């Protein structure tokens, strides 16, 4: 009995520190990458499930590979149910950044086994889905618009740029911003849960190369969130190493171009972005290029952002 | 020295038998399945490389999954070079049976890394490739027809039904036959090397259900080859178990429907087709359905055909 007061004292002294640490690091979002590469491997193309921590109501940001990624995630015990069940019950909607096949093939291939849900995107992206994929020539029309008969499983939900709206069947909100991706309009999705945000960018080139102001406008929109520490992570593509000639970028970023754009973000934010979480997506094989991209990002990271390389089927928290 | 004559005698006695056995079983074709399933798993969708034995000049029959299948085949030592090299140098042309995404996604996804080659198909299939896939909306136009600019890597080669023609850069010939696949025209490719043949059928329904005579016409065309023992193998789809209702077949076969059609082939051939090689393709997950299909084919095989289930990345010879 003699030593008890000391122990109690110790517990009380430790408690505030522990709580503070928890508050500081408590994550707001979980991301389950279903596919992470920028090409050629059909088993691992851009698709990222996103949900608030504590929720099992995910959205899927792009949908290049679904089934194979879900199988990997299930094998890694990220989900307790089978891949087929996660597809049906845990993905509450798809957000397609642009209509290139490597960003939506998994959704189309899996549509016969899917449940009723929304497919969100800018008008031009959904138009291509309607006229090129769910058409009866390329695939059965599982949507509720376009070629007859309409199987009415998917509902196209057109997003208006910069207009925040709720994501049905989830507790999240979304705002879409246009991006310049060579001849196509691509999309950034800013997803909100409570007071925190994750930003996902589909394929995009740098403003200078694309002769665009889309990224600078996006940085203006998210700069205040960065300053307040509310932007928990940004998912951005880097497709090629620095050696790729400008004329062969096809609307993509290199390590140097990404760091240039993040410099713009810091300038607009008006404060250091050191420690900001940057999830680097869409690295294009071959492997030697991927290793080069990682090395060049490491060397070029004078801003001190926190770089993460997502792996298929392995959950991340931010 | 005493026993030598006996040994020599034995060798000479055995030689003709061995030679005969070799002549009898010497295969004419090799098939490398790059993907074998009829759905949902993006890493394993219909694609079969085919070449004469002794040649490294393959064609690819459908192209649902390319890269992941090549990786598996390379891991299995089917090829000595890397997947990227096999894609570029050993696939001399694609034969697309119809334009559903699960039969061509791999070709589109891998096109940036591919070399100049032909894409063969019936006019309607190539038209959909031109207007729905290689369009600049869904993907860059790597073909030499359709939306500008044309990157001119792939040349569309329209096949006329029943008209045999040489396959460029190979020693094989091909004849296309139309098949009925719900709302689409699908295709059977009859491939000839020397005096031997392999028949590949894309997705197809049964004549009775599709209100078609396409399969009966195909059996009439190949019946004489079956009778002469020149048809080394037929690759045919079975997508659903027998329990699938007719209205939900969507232009596919069940074990019972396949055996019914093979019965027609036997009737037209005018001789037993016992021992004919049937490679069963396009089985649709889930796994329990696949097991059921195999069981139902086993039980229903009163014709005595030789059923083979292809596996991704494992070479077959016929």
Q: Do B66 and A42 touch (CB under 8 A)?
A: yes
Residues of B with CB under 8 A from a CB of A: 39-43, 45, 65-68, 71, 84, 99-102, 105-106, 108-110, 112-113, 128, 131-133, 135-140, 183-184, 250, 286
How far is Cα A255 from Cα B227, in angstroms, rounded to an integer?
63
Kindly give the parts of chain B with pLDDT less than 70: 1-25
In a mutagenesis test of the A interface, which of B137, B140, B142, B251 is the best target, namely the one with the most A β-carbons within 10 Å?
B137
Q: Name the percent of chain A lying above pLDDT 90.
A: 92
> DSSP character for A32?
E
Q: Which residue of B has its CA nearest to A140?
A: B100
Per-residue pLDDT band at A62 (split at 50, 70, 90): very high
Q: Do A105 and B105 touch (CB under 8 A)?
A: yes
What pLDDT sits at residue A265?
Answer: 98
Q: Is the dihedral of CA B257, B258, B261, B263 positive or negative?
A: negative
Q: B181 to chain A, minimum CA–CA distance in Å?
A: 11
Q: Is the bond preceding residue B149 a cis peptide, omega within 30 degrees?
A: yes
What pLDDT sits at residue A10?
Answer: 52
Strand ranges, E, within chain B: 29-35, 47-52, 58-63, 91-95, 117-121, 154-158, 165-166, 172-181, 184-193, 196-201, 231-237, 277-281, 306-308, 316-317
What pLDDT sits at residue A25?
Answer: 66
Q: Which two tokens stand for residue A311?
A: 């792996």
Q: How many residues does chain A have?
A: 318
What pLDDT sits at residue B266?
Answer: 98
Q: Which two tokens stand for residue A88?
A: 């049906």
How far is Cα A67 from Cα B40, in angstroms, rounded to an integer?
6
> DSSP character for B93?
E
Interface A-B: count of C-beta contacts within 8 A: 98
CB B69 within 8 A of CB B107: no
Across residues A94-102, what is the average pLDDT? Answer: 98
Q: Which residue of B has its CA nearest to A67?
A: B41
> Exposure string (b/e) for A97-117, b if CB count within 10 Å is 16 or more?
bbbbbbbbbbbbbbbebbeeb
- Which CA distances in Å does B35 have to A43, A78, B91? 12, 27, 15
Q: Do B137 and A250 touch (CB under 8 A)?
A: no
Residue with tokens 């030598």: B4
Q: List A187's β-bridge partners, or say none.
A: A178
Contact residues, chain A, for B138 at CB < 8 Å: 99-101, 128, 132-133
Q: Is the dihedral of CA A109, A112, A118, A123 positive or negative?
A: positive
Contact residues, chain B, for A186 at CB < 8 Å: none
Q: What's the ipTM?
A: 0.92
Q: Do A40 and B113 touch (CB under 8 A)?
A: yes
Q: Is the bond preceding residue A149 a cis peptide, omega within 30 degrees?
A: yes
Nearest to A259 by CA among A280, A287, A243: A280
CB B122 within 8 A of CB B149: no
Q: A200 to chain B, minimum CA–CA distance in Å?
A: 21
Q: Which residue of A has its CA nearest to B35?
A: A42
Q: Is the dihedral of CA B201, B206, B210, B214 positive or negative?
A: positive
Residues of A with CB under 8 A from a CB of B: 39-43, 45, 65-68, 71, 84, 99-102, 105-106, 108-110, 112-113, 128, 131-133, 135-140, 183-184, 250, 286
Full DSSP string of A101-116: GGGTHHHHHHGGG--S
Q: Is the dihedral of CA B226, B231, B233, B234 positive or negative?
A: negative
**pLDDT digits 0-9 by tens, A191-241:** 999 999 999 999 999 999 999 999 999 999 999 999 999 999 999 999 999
How far is Cα B304 from Cα B276, in angstroms, rounded to an integer?
8
What pLDDT sits at residue B23?
Answer: 41
What pLDDT sits at residue B19?
Answer: 37
Q: Is the bond preceding residue A182 a cis peptide, omega within 30 degrees?
A: no
Q: B48 to chain A, minimum CA–CA distance in Å?
A: 16
Helical ranges in B146-279 per DSSP H: 207-210, 214-227, 255-269
CB B147 within 8 A of CB B136: yes
Q: Which domains does chain B have, with CATH numbers?
A: 28-317 (3.60.15.10)
Give kind and range of the element (H or E) at residue A227.
helix A214-227
Q: Which residue of B has its CA nearest to A286?
A: B84
**Backbone φ/ψ region at A135: left (φ over 0), alpha (ψ -120 to 50), beta:** alpha
**Three-class DSSP category at B17:** helix
- Across chain A, mean pLDDT equals 94
In a mutagenesis test of the B interface, which of A36, A42, A101, A129 is the best target, namely the one with the most B β-carbons within 10 Å?
A42
Q: B52 to chain A, minimum CA–CA distance in Å?
A: 27
Contact residues, chain A, for B131 at CB < 8 Å: 137
pLDDT of A43 strictly over 50: yes
Q: Which residue of B has its CA nearest to A71?
A: B41
**pLDDT digits 0-9 by tens, A265-280:** 999 999 999 999 999 9
Count of CB atoms within 10 A of residue A279's CB?
23
How far is Cα B156 from Cα B258, in angstroms, rounded to an integer?
32
What pLDDT sits at residue A5?
Answer: 52
What pLDDT sits at residue A15?
Answer: 45
Q: Do A105 and B101 touch (CB under 8 A)?
A: yes
Nearest to B53 by CA among B86, B23, B30: B30
Q: Which of A42, A99, A138 sits opposite B128 (nearest CB)?
A: A138
What pLDDT sits at residue B21?
Answer: 37
Count of CB atoms within 10 A of residue B31's CB?
24
Count of CB atoms within 10 A of residue A291's CB?
12
In a mutagenesis test of the B interface, which of A107, A137, A240 is the best target, namely the one with the most B β-carbons within 10 Å?
A137
In a mutagenesis test of the B interface, which of A38, A40, A183, A284 is the best target, namely the one with the most B β-carbons within 10 Å?
A40
Q: Which two tokens stand for residue A154?
A: 């998917």
Q: Which residue of A has its CA nearest to B182?
A: A136
Q: Which of B42, B84, B113 sits opposite A42 (nearest CB)?
A: B42
How far is Cα A239 from Cα A255, in angstroms, rounded to an integer?
9
What pLDDT sits at residue A152?
Answer: 97
pLDDT of A120 strictly over 80: yes
What pLDDT sits at residue A16?
Answer: 43
Contact residues, chain B, for A84 at CB < 8 Å: 286
CB B103 within 8 A of CB B97: yes
- First CA to last CA across chain A, in angstroms? 44
């Amino acid at each position: 009995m003699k030593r008890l007061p000391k122990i109690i004292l110790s517990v009380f002294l430790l408690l505030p520190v522990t709580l503070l640490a928890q508050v500081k690091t408590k994550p707001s979002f979980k991301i389950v990458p279903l596919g992470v590469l920028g090409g050629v491997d059909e088993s691992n193309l851009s698709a990222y499930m996103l949900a608030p921590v504590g929720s099992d109501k995910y959205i899927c940001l792009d949908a290049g590979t679904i089934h194979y990624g879900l199988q990997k995630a299930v094998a890694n015990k990220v989900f307790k149910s089978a891949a087929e069940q996660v597809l049906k019950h845990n993905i509450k909607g798809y957000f397609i950044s642009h209509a290139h096949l490597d960003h939506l093939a998994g959704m189309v291939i899996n549509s016969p086994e899917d449940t009723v849900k929304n497919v969100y995107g800018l008008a031009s992206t959904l138009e291509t889905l309607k006229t090129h994929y769910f058409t009866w020539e390329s695939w059965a029309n599982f949507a509720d618009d376009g070629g007859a008969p309409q199987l009415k499983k998917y509902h196209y939900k057109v997003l208006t740029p910069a207009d925040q709206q709720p994501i049905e069947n989830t507790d999240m909100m979304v705002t879409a911003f246009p991006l310049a991706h060579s001849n196509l309009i691509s999309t950034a999705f800013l997803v909100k849960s409570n007071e925190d945000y994750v930003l996902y960018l589909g394929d995009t080139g740098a403003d200078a190369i694309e002769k665009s102001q889309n990224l600078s406008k996006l940085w203006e929109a998210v700069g205040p969130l960065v300053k307040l520490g509310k932007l928990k992570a940004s998912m951005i593509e880097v497709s090629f190493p620095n050696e790729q000639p400008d004329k062969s970028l096809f609307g993509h970023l290199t390590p140097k171009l990404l760091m240039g754009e993040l410099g713009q973000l810091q300038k607009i934010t008006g404060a250091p972005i050191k420690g900001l979480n940057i999830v680097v997506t869409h690295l294009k094989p071959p492997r030697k290029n991927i290793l080069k991209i990682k090395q060049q990002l490491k060397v070029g990271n004078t801003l001190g952002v926190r770089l993460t390389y997502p792996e298929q089927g392995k959950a991340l928290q931010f």
